[in-house]
């Protein structure tokens, strides 16, 4: 008999699970791993679409092709239904995401030995913003992806609710808690209370801030100036200078927009800027990135630098040697805090709004449960501990709590 499969389709990583022997069981999606990078690579030589670690490896080894990551952030936008030419076919993002979800489905079915025709999918509290008109379209797009992947039925469960189920909140009846779910693309704050009927969500509130936003801010502040952002360009006609256009640098710092920069026109435009630049060596690095499709190499370097600066008390750097031998961008802990400081204020405001929606004060929160890889950032825990100094702060299973909860919900 077909059963339901819980799927955590994340901005950075994805997981799938179902209940086995009364406990949540996560599907092995790669050797020894129950999570899979939410990334795809269209290999132009092999004529195939690679997923997860294979996609990342193809990118980093310099295979000829098109890399895509942060697919979740495209939901609800016009890009979802635009056809693009890849591997001798014209496909939409709906079809691309559907193939990724079908891969999770196939792995689960092979492991479980039976089909899954029903998906219980996590979803952020907000995809784009509470009052953003793209909200309904984002869920409709994701539903279409699941249907195209072969699921006959799809139900959605807010990711924080799934995390509360998995975090053992029922072990503390009568307690009031807060789920802080900082993912790749969104931050969700959910106030819950436990009782005889289980976990009751008092309020959900989300803001569109996540790990990829942290990466983008770091890249713009520390890396893009080395690529020519802010460089003066001589006017083609007459005296004077103008700064290099910002748009291309902001796109280069944004995971989901990088693939769209690899066009002949963009490269010609940048080469023209190199000729007009007063300091051409910096813009020449940008031309190198475009010519050799190194945008995601730079993005991975920024992500690695962010993690190093967050965990190392010393001075970390962003290694840009793939662009130019010996090139680095400094990123010590103090600089990381300064770059990400505006996000702390937004996170604090998001939490306060969530508490107001629930009719609670900070002193009412007994436990703060962290979910999502980006919740390990010192920026996040520092902001929350300042708001809730007397609460228990739990970081257990930050990477799999949502998937575990969805697996448990799927059994129902």
Q: What are phi and psi of 353, to 5 degrees?
A: -65, -40
Q: 264-276 and 280-291 are packed helices; what angle lies between their axes, rounded to 10 degrees?
A: 170
Give the helix ranges, DSSP H, for 253-375.
Answer: 264-276, 280-291, 295-311, 333-358
**Mean pLDDT value across residues 53-75:** 88
Q: What is the pLDDT of residue 1?
A: 43
The 3-state DSSP class for residue 15 equals: strand
- What is the reported pTM? 0.73
The DSSP output letter for 397 is: T
Average pLDDT, the chain: 91
Taking the CA atoms of residue 221, residue 226, residue 229 and residue 231 in that order, the dihedral angle to the nearest 10 degrees is 130
**Domains of the chain, residue spans:** 3-167+397-410, 212-336
Strand pairing class (3-8; 116-123):
parallel
| Contact of 70 with 38, CB cutoff 8 Å | yes
Domain 3-167+397-410 has CATH 3.30.420.40: yes
CA atoms within 13 A on the CB side of 379: 28
**Mean pLDDT value across residues 12-30:** 93
**Mean pLDDT value across residues 164-173:** 78
pLDDT in tens, 111-154: 999 999 999 999 987 788 777 889 889 999 999 999 999 999 99
Provide the β-strand partners of residue 182: 187
In 3D space, the residue among 46, 39, 157 whose CA is nearest the CA of residue 103 turns out to be 39
Element counts in the chain: helices (H) and strands (E): 12, 20
CA distances to 16, 26, 54, 128, 256 from 38, in Å: 12, 16, 11, 19, 12
Whole-angstrom distance, CA of residue 395 vs CA of residue 84:
41
Q: List the single range of 38-42, 78-82, 261-265, 296-300 with lowest mean pLDDT.
A: 78-82
Provide the β-strand partners of residue 232: 243
pLDDT > 70? residue 2:
no
Whole-angstrom distance, CA of residue 164 vs CA of residue 200:
9
pLDDT in tens, 282-327: 999 999 999 999 999 999 999 999 999 998 766 899 999 999 999 9
What is the per-residue burial (b if ≥16 Cβ within 10 Å, else e) of 233-251? beeeeeeeeeebeeebbee
Q: What are phi and psi of 188, to 5 degrees?
A: -115, 135
Provide the β-strand partners of residue 19: 24
């Amino acid at each position: 008999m077909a059963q339901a499969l819980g799927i955590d389709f994340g901005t950075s990583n994805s997981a799938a699970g179902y209940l086995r022997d009364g406990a949540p069981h996560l599907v092995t999606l790669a050797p020894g791993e129950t999570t899979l990078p939410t990334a795809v690579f269209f290999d132009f030589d092999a004529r195939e679409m690679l997923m997860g670690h294979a996609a990342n490896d193809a990118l980093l080894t310099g295979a000829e092709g098109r890399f895509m990551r942060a697919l979740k952030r495209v939901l609800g936008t016009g890009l979802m239904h635009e056809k693009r030419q890849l591997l001798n076919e014209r496909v939409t993002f709906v079809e691309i995401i559907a193939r990724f979800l079908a891969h999770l489905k196939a792995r689960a079915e092979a492991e479980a030995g039976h089909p899954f025709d029903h998906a219980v999918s996590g979803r952020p509290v907000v995809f784009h913003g509470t009052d953003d008109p793209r909200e309904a379209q984002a869920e409709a797009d994701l539903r279409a992806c699941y249907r195209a992947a072969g699921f006959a039925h799809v139900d959605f469960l807010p990711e924080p609710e799934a995390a509360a189920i998995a975090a053992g909140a029922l072990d503390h009846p009568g307690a009031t808690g807060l789920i802080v779910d900082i993912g790749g693309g969104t931050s969700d704050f959910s106030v819950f209370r436990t009782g005889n009927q289980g976990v009751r969500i008092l309020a959900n509130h989300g803001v569109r801030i996540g790990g990829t936003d942290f990466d983008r801010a770091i890249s713009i502040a520390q890396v893009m100036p080395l690529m020519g952002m802010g460089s003066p360009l001589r006017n083609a006609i007459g005296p004077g200078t103008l700064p290099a256009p910002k748009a291309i640098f902001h796109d280069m710092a944004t995971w989901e927009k990088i693939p769209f920069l690899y066009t002949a026109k963009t490269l010609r435009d940048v080469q023209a800027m190199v000729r007009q630049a007063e300091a051409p060596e910096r813009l020449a690095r940008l031309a190198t990135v475009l010519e050799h499709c190194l945008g995601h190499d730079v993005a991975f370097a920024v992500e690695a630098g962010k993690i190093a600066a967050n965990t190392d008390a010393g001075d970390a750097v962003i290694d840009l040697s793939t662009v130019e031998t010996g090139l680095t961008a400094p990123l010590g802990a103090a600089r990381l805090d300064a770059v990400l400081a505006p996000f702390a204020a937004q996170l604090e405001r998001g939490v306060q709004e969530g508490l107001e929606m629930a009719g609670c004060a900070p002193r009412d929160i007994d436990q703060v449960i962290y979910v999502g890889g980006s919740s390990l950032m010192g920026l996040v825990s520092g902001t929350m501990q300042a708001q809730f100094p007397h609460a228990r702060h739990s970081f257990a299973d930050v990477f799999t709590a949502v998937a575990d909860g969805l697996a448990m919900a799927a059994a129902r």
